[in-house]
Chains A and B, each alone.
Chain A
């Protein structure tokens, strides 16, 4: 059971701890005032990475080797010089795609000292020295199909989900908004666009099944059963039994099929959690009633969990990386755009509020 967690917000990084009385409370903070777009707690080490999205001065990466006692600025993933003859424009709006990191949207550990980083505008970066240096995966960036990616929520496309196969760290699968699901079996030397069965209802009917037009809002993998993937898609919830090659859309979902986030129990591929919302025109809880939905049978049935969540009208939206699950699959935490943070010790049956007054929450992760 975890006793600590980290929360990345629009205005800094916060540590939450369970105190001697068993209550969760804010125990520390770093980088107050600076947006923390992504964080990574490396398992079994005191190493933590925090990605900052400074409004004026660009994207930065900070790393601590001692659990937060001290931090060092590390190189941020950077694009190579763009050749003058290369034309790179958004396929629908004609805007020039910047070859410059605008936001770090995913940060994941692979083999020891190996990191993967996904950014807006659509670059995937690789490090083999724990973030001392980064290399753009050119095979993906230079793939002509990458130029057909389009922005989803942001001006340009971005990689928000990176799944490293626990059986084989060379097998990596990514989710792109908007650009579908891609996988490599050789650490990025070759890529395959996958995603049969996905459906994009925002596209013309003849394009709805095109894997390249899919908008996976969040993609997660069950470590105990790595072929099982869950996806909160822009217009539905999908599940895959073969690592993302084929997908099945769930039907008759309670409340709404829209949302941004999903978490899977690391030890049980059939148990997953979502935070439904009214679809893209509004992006608030349905009927202003904040709930978490949970399936324990692979998506056939869903429970709506609300004990401890607000009875009063609530307008909290939960972003892609703002729902976390502990390694044992018992604890959950989620934070909202209105700065509320809840934790559950029983897989979501009951929720305890930690704070209603944090800055807008962008990402969460349990420590240990």
Chain B
């Protein structure tokens, strides 16, 4: 199953343990994760569901292409990592 993990900087604000969920896109993966950990959503996405300006999402080591709809495809072994940009601090 695709996995999702977060920068340790985010744990300072809210619990966000690693997770694995059945998902074929980043949007699916986030949706599953936020069902389990709803308070994390607002730290990663803005009011319109877009990835926050100063948050970076890596999918298998590459930057998320679709930061608005999160439609990037995942494989069963995909690793998604959320971390903060060096900008915006």
Asked whether B88 lies within 8 Å of A58 as measured between CB atoms, the reply is: no
Stretch at the interface among A94-102, A168-176, A203-211, A279-287: A94-102
The answer to whether the Cβ of A82 comes within 8 Å of any Cβ in the partner chain is yes
Q: Chain A's nearest CB lies how many Å from the CB of B44?
A: 8
Asked whether B48 lies within 8 Å of A57 as measured between CB atoms, the reply is: no
Asked whether B47 lies within 8 Å of A57 as measured between CB atoms, the reply is: no
Interface residues of A (CB under 8 A from B): 54-58, 60, 73, 76, 78-82, 98-101
On whether A58 and B48 interact (CB within 8 A), knowing A73-B14, A73-B39, A76-B42, the answer reads no
Asked whether B13 lies within 8 Å of A58 as measured between CB atoms, the reply is: no
A111 to B89, CA, bound (A): 37
- Contact sample, A vs B, 24 pairs, CB 8 Å cutoff: A54-B13, A55-B88, A56-B55, A56-B84, A56-B85, A56-B88, A56-B89, A57-B10, A57-B42, A57-B43, A57-B44, A57-B52, A57-B55, A58-B46, A60-B13, A73-B39, A76-B42, A78-B47, A80-B47, A99-B47, A99-B48, A100-B46, A100-B47, A100-B48
How many B residues have CB within 8 A of the partner chain?
20
Chain A residue nearest in CB terms to B40: A57
Chain B residue nearest in CB terms to A59: B42
A334 to B48, CA, bound (A): 37
Instruction: Determine the chain B residues whose CB is within 8 A of the CB of A82 once the complex forms.
Output: 48
Instruction: Determine the chain B residues whose CB is within 8 A of the CB of A79 once the complex forms.
Output: 47-48
The answer to whether the Cβ of B54 comes within 8 Å of any Cβ in the partner chain is yes
The residue that A81 contacts in the complex, of B10, B48, B85, with Cβ under 8 A, is B48
Instruction: Determine the chain B residues whose CB is within 8 A of the CB of A60 once the complex forms.
Output: 13, 42
Instruction: Determine the chain A residues whose CB is within 8 A of the CB of B14 once the complex forms.
Output: 73
Asked whether A55 lies within 8 Å of B89 as measured between CB atoms, the reply is: yes
Chain B residue nearest in CB terms to A80: B47
Q: Is the interface of B mostly helix, strand, loop or mixed?
A: loop
User: Contacts A56-B85, A98-B48, A100-B50 given; 18 further ones with Cβ under 8 A?
Assistant: A55-B54, A55-B88, A56-B9, A56-B52, A56-B54, A57-B10, A57-B13, A57-B43, A60-B42, A76-B42, A78-B42, A78-B47, A79-B48, A81-B48, A99-B47, A99-B48, A100-B48, A101-B47
Q: Is the interface of A mostly helix, strand, loop or mixed?
A: loop
Q: Chain B's nearest CB lies how many Å from the CB of A98?
A: 7
Chain B residue nearest in CB terms to A34: B13
Chain B CB within 10 Å, residue with most, of A58, A60, A73 = A58
A141 to B42, CA, bound (A): 22
Chain A residue nearest in CB terms to B46: A100
Q: Chain A's nearest CB lies how many Å from the CB of B19?
A: 18
A265 to B85, CA, bound (A): 45
Instruction: Determine the chain A residues whose CB is within 8 A of the CB of B42 once the complex forms.
Output: 57-58, 60, 76, 78
Chain A residue nearest in CB terms to B53: A56
Contacting residues of chain B (1-42) with chain A, CB-CB under 8 angstroms:
9-10, 13-14, 39, 42
Q: Chain A's nearest CB lies how many Å from the CB of B5?
A: 16
Instruction: Determine the chain B residues whose CB is within 8 A of the CB of A73 once the complex forms.
Output: 14, 39
Chain A CB within 10 Å, residue with most, of B9, B13, B88 = B13
Instruction: Determine the chain A residues whose CB is within 8 A of the CB of B54 once the complex forms.
Output: 55-56
Chain B residue nearest in CB terms to A82: B48
Q: Chain B's nearest CB lies how many Å from the CB of A261?
A: 27
Q: Chain B's nearest CB lies how many Å from the CB of A95?
A: 14
Instruction: Determine the chain B residues whose CB is within 8 A of the CB of A56 once the complex forms.
Output: 9, 52, 54-55, 84-85, 88-89
